[in-house]
Amino acid sequence: MKHIVVHEVGPRDGLQMERQVVPIDTREDWVRRVMDSGVDIVQVGSFVHPVKVPQMADTDELIKRLVHDKPSGTVIAGLALNERGLDRGMECGVEMFCLGASASETHSMKNTGMASMEATQRIAASGKLALEAGKKVQVSVQSAFGCGFEGPIAEERVLEMARAYAEAGLYNISLADTAGHAHPEQVERLFGAVLALDSNIECTCHFHNTYGLGMANIFAALRAGVTSFETSFAGLGGCPFTKVAAGNVATEDFVNALQLQGVREDIRLEGLIGVANDVAGFFEREMPGCVYKTGTIKRKESA
C-alpha cells in the first residue's frame, strides 16, 4: 500500500453548513490539535463572501495565526473558488490552494455563478498562478459522481475537466462526491479513467456519506490507486449549495480503519477523537462519526 495522505477538511467543509458560528479561538484550538495528531493536510477554511458562508468570515485571520506559529509539518490549505479568493490566500500565507469547479451546470451556477467549463478554465488559470508563486495546488471536479439537482453526471464531462487541469500542468486532481451519489463500482471506474489520462496525475477523493456509502467508496478509491483522502472530524459537513447536504466520512473513523490494517499508525487517533468529542459538545448534538462514540477496537498483540 502506498503512503496514504490524510487531508482534514472539518474546519472548512465540516463547519460551512453550521448556523452557529464557531469563535475563531475555538476553531484555532481544534485545528492545532488536529495538526498535532499528525495528519498531513488541514483545510482551514475557504475564501468566500462572509454573507454567503458566515462560518468562513475569519478564515484569513485564522490562517495568519497558524502560519505565524506553526509547530508541525502539517500543510495549511484553503479553498478558493475565484481570483479574489486566490489573492486573499496569497495575502494570508496559505501553503496549499484547493481550487475547484463543478461538473454539474446547476451546482456550478449556484456555487460560483459560472458555467461548468468557464469555471474550470478560470480555476486552471488560478492554479497555474499559484504554482508559479511556489504554492501547492489541488484542483477538484465537484459533483463528479452525480448531482442532487441534475441526477447522473456524464463521466466524459468529468474527464474533460480532468484533462483541462492536466493540460495546465495541474496534476493533483480530486474528484468530489458533493451530493453523495457515488457507489463503489462507479468510483473504481472513474478514478481509473482519470489516472489513465496522464502518468503524472495523483488523485484525491472526497466522499459525502449521504446514503451511507462513504467508507465503502473510500476503499474503492484506494483499490483504484487513489492516495489522498479528504475526511472531516466527527463526520461533520455538507455543501450549502447542493440539494441534500450530508456529512463526510469521519477522519477518526478512517484513521481507525487504516490503523486496524497497520497503516498510518503514526497518527495520534486519540487526539482526533478528542477533537470530535469537543465538536459534538460545542454543537450540543450527536455527530455522524462512530469511533468518537464507541472508542477504538483493541487489537490483540501477536505473540
Model confidence band, residue 303 (pLDDT cutoffs 50, 70, 90): very low
Q: What was the pLDDT predicted at 107? A: 83
CB-CB contact of 64 with 92 (8 Å): yes
Taking the CB of residue 233, how many other CB atoms lie within 10 A of it?
A: 35
Mean pLDDT confidence for 172-201: 96
Is 205 a known active-site residue? no
Model confidence band, residue 184 (pLDDT cutoffs 50, 70, 90): very high
Q: What was the pLDDT predicted at 245? A: 53
Model confidence band, residue 246 (pLDDT cutoffs 50, 70, 90): low
Q: What percent of the chain has pLDDT over 70?
A: 95
Contacts of 255 (CB under 8 A, 6+ apart): 6, 264, 267, 269, 272
117-128: pLDDT as tens digits: 898 999 999 999
CA 125 to chain centre: 21
Mean pLDDT confidence for 55-67: 96
Measured between alpha carbons, how far is 121 from 5 in angstroms, rounded to an integer? 27
Pairing of strands 202-207, 172-177: parallel
227-240: pLDDT as tens digits: 999 999 999 986 55
Length of the chain: 303
CB-CB contact of 254 with 218 (8 Å): yes
Delimit the domains of the chain by residue range.
Answer: 5-294
Model confidence band, residue 160 (pLDDT cutoffs 50, 70, 90): very high
Measured between alpha carbons, how far is 265 from 284 in angstroms, rounded to an integer? 31
Mean pLDDT confidence for 233-261: 81
pTM of the model: 0.93
Q: What was the pLDDT predicted at 241? A: 47
Model confidence band, residue 243 (pLDDT cutoffs 50, 70, 90): very low
CB-CB contact of 95 with 113 (8 Å): no
Q: What is the DSSP secondary-structure string of 208-255? A: B-TTS-HHHHHHHHHHHT--EEEEBGGG----TTSSS---BPBHHHHH
Can you tell me which residue has the cell 465537484?
Answer: 142
Contacts of 297 (CB under 8 A, 6+ apart): 256, 260
pLDDT exceeds cutoff 90 at 200: yes
139-158: pLDDT as tens digits: 999 999 998 888 999 999 99
Q: Which position among 92, 98, 239, 290 bears the catalytic label?
A: 239
**Joined grid coordinates for residue 43:** 483545510
CB-CB contact of 257 with 215 (8 Å): yes
In terms of CATH, what superfamily is 5-294?
A: Aldolase class I (3.20.20.70)
Measured between alpha carbons, how far is 226 from 214 in angstroms, rounded to an integer? 15
pLDDT exceeds cutoff 80 at 302: no
Measured between alpha carbons, how far is 179 from 276 in angstroms, rounded to an integer? 23
pLDDT exceeds cutoff 60 at 301: no
Mean pLDDT confidence for 107-133: 90
Q: What is the DSSP secondary-structure string of 18-60? A: -SSPPPHHHHHHHHHHHHHHT-SEEEEEE---TTT-GGGTTHH
272-289: pLDDT as tens digits: 999 999 999 999 999 999
Average pLDDT taken over every residue of the chain:
92
Contacts of 18 (CB under 8 A, 6+ apart): 55, 236, 283
